[in-house]
């Protein structure tokens, strides 16, 4: 996990300073803000098939290209705006992923108009309380769980795109729904303290699924890093 002199960190972040900084400051901190969650949903969807450091390097580009993740502004993007974004080297130039951001902004606005929120929907799968699985080694971390399966179905049912279960699991890790820092990581106890109680009260959108065993019966991360495709 480290060389004996540096802070103990999760293995997935040791590839670059950018990843270490993100790990130390943001990853796993419980997040309930609508725009912040929309940003994480966008970045996790963009990351599919790519290294996470690529997405982090393009994060500022995404914020500029997508109006600081203001869903009301993004929802008005037309075909010509999408065409320009597909040619923009500051983001991932994948038409399906770009179009999904616009579609997801519209889905988010529709959800809010119906009286719901992205935060309530996402946090409903853990009952508003972060999971504390206590993983010791990266091989223990699943690539998907019963909760991420439920979240993928909920998001898709509400019109969101690029929201497969492994993407949802990465979102849950990033947004603090599950504290997937290794127990030996210097951030594990800090993040656990942030999520020691109920983070938010959520309506009964879906019954919180039973947690699958952490050492058997769940799909493991193919990279063995403790982070989905990181």
Residues carrying an active site annotation: 22, 44, 52
Residue 206 has pLDDT above 80, yes or no: no
**pLDDT tens, 64-118?**
999 999 999 999 999 999 999 999 999 999 999 999 999 999 999 999 999 999 9
CA dist 156 and 104 (Å) reads 10
Average pLDDT over residues 22-51: 96
Q: CA torsion, points 133, 20, 85, 112, in degrees to nearest 10?
A: 40
pLDDT digits (tens, 9 = 90+) for 214-224: 333 344 454 45
In sequence order, the 6+-apart residues with CB closer than 8 A to the CB of 75 are 102, 105, 106, 109
Q: Which pLDDT score is estimated for 195?
A: 86
DSSP string, 156-217: HHTT--S--HHHHHHHHHHTTSB--S-TTSTTHHHHHHHTSS-------SSPPPPPPPSSSS
Q: How far apart are CA 132 and CA 176, in angstroms?
A: 10
Q: What is the dihedral angle through the alpha carbons of 80, 167, 175, 205, rounded to the nearest 10 degrees? A: 90
In a 13 Å sphere around the CA of 92, the CA atoms on its Cβ side amount to 25
- Cα–Cα distance for residue pair 212/220, rounded to 1 Å: 12
């Amino acid at each position: 996990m480290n060389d004996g002199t540096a802070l103990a960190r999760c293995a997935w972040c040791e590839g670059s300073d950018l990843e270490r900084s993100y790990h130390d400051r943001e990853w796993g901190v419980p997040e309930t803000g609508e725009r912040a969650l929309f940003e994480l949903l966008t970045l996790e969807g963009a990351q599919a098939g790519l290294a996470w450091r690529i997405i982090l390097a393009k994060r500022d580009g995404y914020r500029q290209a997508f109006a600081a993740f203001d869903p009301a502004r993004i929802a008005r993007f037309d075909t010509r705006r999408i065409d320009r974004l597909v040619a923009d080297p500051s983001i991932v130039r994948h038409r399906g992923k770009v179009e999904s951001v616009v579609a997801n902004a519209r889905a988010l606005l529709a959800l809010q108009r119906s009286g719901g929120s992205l935060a309530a929907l996402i946090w409903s799968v853990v009952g508003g309380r972060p999971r504390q699985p206590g993983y010791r080694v990266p091989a223990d971390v699943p690539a998907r769980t019963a909760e991420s399966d439920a979240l993928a179905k909920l998001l898709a049912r509400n019109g969101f795109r690029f929201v497969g279960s492994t993407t949802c699991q990465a979102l849950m890790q990033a947004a603090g729904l599950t504290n997937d820092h290794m127990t030996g990581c210097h951030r594990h106890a800090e993040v656990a303290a942030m999520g020691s109680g109920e983070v938010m009260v959520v309506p009964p959108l879906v019954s919180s699924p039973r947690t699958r065993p952490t050492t058997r019966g769940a799909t493991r991360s193919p990279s063995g890093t403790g982070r989905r495709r990181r």
